[in-house]
Structure 1
């Protein structure tokens, strides 16, 4: 207990940890949850996008989509290896969950998770064609950028370093999505607004409940710096700016 308390004080003062053997039980539980959510979301996101690759309107679009699938899977593997340091069965992980499983399009589970895995709720919804996938990737890409900025400063050093390496890769995915939206609009696509209206609240829900009371305890452990509400507001502002620039209405 004395050792745990000294570590808690160390973390509260901005200290970092780098060895699983030095991690207190409660810290370990929250760290594993953070990593599992990221890994499961990346694998589920990659699985959903893989089904869309051959719907790309051209070779360049299909190459970009395939690259996104590859890189999201690689990002998941990078963090999964850190989970392995804590005893996760990394060999079994990739085949243990139905990553391509999706709910009905009209479902609305808010911030809830399904029984399958720890993926963010947004990755339980199906994509409806190329344009819909590009819009989802645009909005979620901006959300990931906000989350990466947050998680790149976590107090577990190996994970922070992994997220800092992942951040520019995910940022490029959002850029590719924006380029894809611009190209669709140039070719007269008229269904983008419907996709924005569908995905906006579902991506917003990926930041969790704004009424969560865990922020302070996570801040004390160095696993968070901002509240869910603050992160969501940051995304709304950044994603809203992008949509306005593209000439697409920001949902109310």
Structure 2
């Protein structure tokens, strides 16, 4: 049995591996791509909400969303450092990959946050989706990643509560506030379901990630769990409408049916052609350049 086959057998049995082990290059490349994607998503994910720190309607809201943005940046730090343990790239290389457009992040962050309700939606429903996605990875075969995710998921649970508090306030507020919240849901519904990634048969890397035990649930599985256990119940709880006349539960198949998502649009956005792709990368590039003096002063540049 080759070393690759031995490792695959171990991880298929639920074992986790450490960076001190002699890991196959194929495993390390797959883990690098997955963790770097996640780190990129966390740091770019600060941008849609950062603009609302100054615009939040009260000091309490400003403090809460400021703390949330800080947490997300911290998550990126944890994940970039975790990826470094694979020995393939350092953090600077990964950040350069991001701002040069050579590595990806979740497409949902390439849409604009037009209103305060959008900030509420992201905190509750996008972070809620992240909880399902990341929670499934706390048993991932790469032990440093699994450990880091336990801390991240703990903090994300507070982000969801923060978001739900704002959603509750808007959904039970004036007619104008209720409409503001519903408009946000209407615009974000499709990007939210696409947050979990393309349909299973469309993904180029799914089989590899499952073989190495890096991923434990498929995109479609996670989408179904999210609809069943979070998205639909929460919208119903606050009297908000699901903007999909085809959304229904199939009792026989035990699954949710929903309108066919625009996957061509999803792929276009993932290739860098979304509404605010350029703006997001410009913001990250400027942040890296403007804070270069800090890294030099700390002796890490």
Instruction: Confirm or deny a common fold (TM above 0.5).
Output: yes
Larger Rg belongs to: 2
Unaligned runs of 5+ in 2: 245-301
Partners of 2:138 and 2:45 in 1: CA distance = 20
TM-score w.r.t. length of structure 1: 0.87
> By how many angstroms is 1:156 displaced?
0.6
Cα deviation for residue 9 of structure 1 reads 2.0
Mapping for residues 11-90 of structure 1, pairs under 5 Å:
11-19=11-19, 21-85=21-85, 86-90=87-91
TM-score normalised by structure 2 residue count: 0.73
The offset of 1:94, in angstroms, is: 4.7
Residue of structure 1 in register with 2:195 after alignment: 206
In structure 2, C-alpha distance between the alignment counterparts of 1:58 and 1:219, rounded to whole Å: 45
Q: 1:152 to 1:204 in 2, by over 3 A?
A: same
Corresponding residue for residue 159 of structure 2: 173
Q: For structure 1, which runs of at least 5 residues remain unmatched after alignment?
A: 99-113
Corresponding position of 1:236: 227
Identify the residue that residue 133 of structure 2 maps to in structure 1.
147
1:55-79 deviation line (CA, Å, top 9, x unaligned)? 1000010101100100000011011
Displacement of 1:216 = 4.3
Deviation at 1:96, TM superposition (A): 6.2
Structural mapping, 1:66-145, within 5 Å: 66-85=66-85, 86-91=87-92, 93-94=94-95, 97-98=98-99, 115=101, 117-145=103-131
Pair 1:194 & 2:183 matched: yes
Q: Distance in 1 between matches of 2:18 and 2:35?
A: 15
| More displaced stretch, 43-52 vs 181-190 | 181-190
CA distance in structure 1 between the aligned counterparts of 2:55 and 2:233, rounded to whole angstroms: 28
Residues 212/153 of structure 1: CA separation in 2 closer, same or farther (3 Å cut): farther
CA contact (8 A) 2:172 2:238 kept: no
Aligned residues: 237
Partner of 2:239: 247
SS of residue paired to 1:22 = coil
Contact 1:215/1:226 (CA < 8 Å) preserved in 2? no
Provide closer, same or farther for how the CA distance between residues 116 and 2 of structure 1 changes in structure 2, counting only shifts above 3 A.
Answer: closer
1:106 aligned residue: none
Which string of whole-angstrom CA distances, capped at 9 and with x for unpartnered residues, describes residues 19-38 of structure 1?
A: 25522122212211211111
